[in-house]
Every structure is written in structure tokens, then in C-alpha cells.
Structure 1
Amino acid sequence: MAAWHTIRMAWQAGALVALAAVFAPLHAAERSIDKQVEVKATLDEAWAAWTTREGITSFFAPDAQIEPWVGGAFHIHIDPGAERGMKGADDMRFMALQPKKMLSFDWNAPPSLPQARQQRTFVVVRFEPVDATHTRVSLHHTGWGDGGEWDKAYAYFDRAWGNVLANLQKRFESGPVDWTTWLQQLKQRREAASAPK
């Protein structure tokens, strides 16, 4: 009887372990944003688009400070005329660079989400040559919290990264983004916000 009880307990423990193995990935799966685009650019051109000021301002934002080394600046100024800390990704840093293969940087939420903005998420961008004149660029954004502003930030960047990669694609098809209208609109918003009421 003791042997039967031992076998039964072992079977139940084994079944629990098997169930845990099946469901663990569901619990452990971390929320992420994954986007990919193929651009009409050589690997060198695609890499330079993400690792130089000239490259970033050609598709991502009107101004930037880019220092392509580990710990170097990856400051993306969506609104260059805003006060310090409100320009966009003001104080971001490169976390890793594998030349012409992968780069990563920390990232924050937009100023409209101040609680989430105090935290950091992480973005990994990978580069893969398709042929001599085309490169696949893949983006993976992770490190999300749950609920409240985190959910809003996730939804915001799920849309925003699609737009950024579409701009990257357009940059190599029809030329750099002209930020003139964007900058005028931002200036008008700032003036309207600071006008006496």
C-alpha cells in the first residue's frame, strides 16, 4: 500500500511539473513591441541612419545628439524648441552596439505620461542585409510595466514605432523628412500654451 501511495504521489508531482512546464511560458512571456521593415538601402546606409545625427534627423526627429558608443548619447529631440527634459527622448543612452548588426538604447515614455516617463524601457534594433541594395531593420521594444500609464505608453509606441520605420523606408525611397511644417506646428502649440488666458 505504501508503494502504491508513493507511485501515486510521484505521478501527481510529475503531472504538476508537466503542467507548470506548459503554462510557464505563458506566464513568463513579456510584453513587447516588434516591428520590421525592409529598406532600399545598403547595410552601411541603414546603420548610418541610426548611428549619426544626420541619419536620425533624416527620418526620426528634427534634432538629435548621437554618440554611437556604449553609454553614448542617443538623445532624440522630437520637439527641439521645448525646455530641457521635454524635448522627447532627452537623456537616452546607447546600451550596446554590434557594428552593422545590432544596437540598443534605453527609452522613455512621452512627456504626456509623466509617471511612465520616470522609468525606462529598452529598444533593440537589428540589421540584416537582404541583398546588395536592401536591408531588413527589425525593432524590439521591451521592459514594460503593467496597467495605468504603462498601457498608454505601450499603445502609443505600438503606433509610433510603425511610423518611425515607415519614415525610415520613405527616407530611402524619396529622401529625408522635411521637418519644417512639424516644427512650425510645435512652435504654435507652445505659444498657445504660454499665452495669457
Structure 2
Amino acid sequence: MSLWPGLVTAQDDPAAPLPPVVAEVIVRDDLEDVWLDWTTSEGLSAVMGTLAHVDPDLKPRGLYEVLFLPDAPEGERGAEKGAILAVEPKKMISFTWKQPPYMPIGENYTFVQLFFEPVGENETRLRLYNWGWGTSPDWKKARAYFAQSWPAVLDMYQKQKAAQAE
């Protein structure tokens, strides 16, 4: 069954787009701090545990990248040369996301939307959607990879914030 009535899914038609990867957590921190964790170079580097660059002005087409292997040759460092697509301050940021270089679709990008919502005193819901998947078997493998990776990233982040709150 489709998440949205009338939307054709890969279940209904093998040529239809794959659905987004969706992940969500509630973290023990206020909206301001969670927003800064995902929208600044310093914050994103701490979240991902590696070097990250975010355009400080959060301008559309500004840089949003995470270098998982910062010393590797260009093109093999991770989510390189990503771009901010849209920002709604303290509510949503969207950006492009590059596939790992070892995947056959490694030069292609998908896009991620992160939504931020205060849900209580000192708690914030973080909801992630990763869109833009192709339909080939290689794209399906990439989506399956991120269907595991994004929830793990958010779970790790939730644990980081819980440990900091103690």
C-alpha cells in the first residue's frame, strides 16, 4: 500500500521511484542545539565523528559535505561536494547526499530532508527523509544500504545527546 494515495510505488510498478528512506528519533536537547549540530561545520563534524563542512550562511547551493575519509583522494572521501537545497530556519534543512564511492552509482546524489520539532522541555524530534532513488538493481542496493545507515546515524546521535545530558 502506498504511503500517499495515488502515488505509484515500486511495489506496483518496477519502473516507479523507490520510496524515501525514513528515520526518526527524539533527542534530549533543545531545538537550538540540535539545529546547530546539523547546520554548522563544528556540529556536523561532532555528529558524524569526522570532518564536515557546512556553508556558514546556509545559502542554497552552499556546501554541505561529510568527509568520512578526509585523507583519501578526491572523489573517494565520502559525501563530498554536497549542496544545501533549502532551509527553513530551525525547522528544516535539505541537502544533496553522495553515495559511497564503491557503489556503482557512486557519482550520483540523492537528497536528504531533516525536520526539527520541539516535543517537550529539552527534547527535539529529528525526522529524516532520503529521497531521489533510481529504479535499477544498483539503486535498490544503495537505498537498502541507507535504509540501514540513516537509522544507525540517528540512533548514534540520540545516544550522544543522552550521554551529554547525564
In the superposition, the TM-score normalised over structure 2's length comes to 0.85
Contact 2:24–2:128 under 8 Å retained in 1: yes
Contact 1:74–1:105 under 8 Å retained in 2: yes
User: Which of 97, 107, 128 does residue 118 from structure 1 map onto?
Assistant: 107
Aligned-partner residue type, residue 49 of structure 1: D
Question: By how many angstroms is 1:148 displaced?
Answer: 2.4
2:119 maps to 1:130:
yes
2:39 maps to 1:51:
yes
Unpaired runs of 5+ residues, structure 2, are 10-15
Partner-residue secondary structure (3-state), 1:37: strand
Cross-structure match for 1:64: 52
Q: How many residues align?
A: 152
Q: In angstroms, what is the RMSD of aligned CA positions?
A: 1.7
Question: By how many angstroms is 1:25 displaced?
Answer: 2.8
Cross-structure match for 1:78: 68
Q: Distance in 2 between matches of 1:56 and 1:159?
A: 20
Unpaired runs of 5+ residues, structure 1, are 1-22, 176-197
Q: Distance in 2 between matches of 1:145 and 1:110?
A: 15
Q: Distance in 2 between matches of 1:71 and 1:87?
A: 20
Contact 2:17–2:134 under 8 Å retained in 1: no
Structure number with the bigger relative contact order (C-alpha 8 A, sep ≥ 6) is: 2
Q: Name the CA shift for 1:24/1:132 in 2 (closer, same or farther; >3 Å).
A: closer
Q: Percent identity?
A: 34
Contact 2:64–2:84 under 8 Å retained in 1: yes
Q: Distance in 2 between matches of 1:146 and 1:29?
A: 6
Q: Distance in 1 between matches of 2:99 and 2:88?
A: 25
Q: Distance in 1 between matches of 2:27 and 2:6?
A: 37
Question: By how many angstroms is 1:162 displaced?
Answer: 1.0
Structure 1 segments, 4+ long, off by >4 Å, are 27-30
Q: Distance in 1 between matches of 2:39 and 2:22?
A: 20
Structure of greater Rg: 1
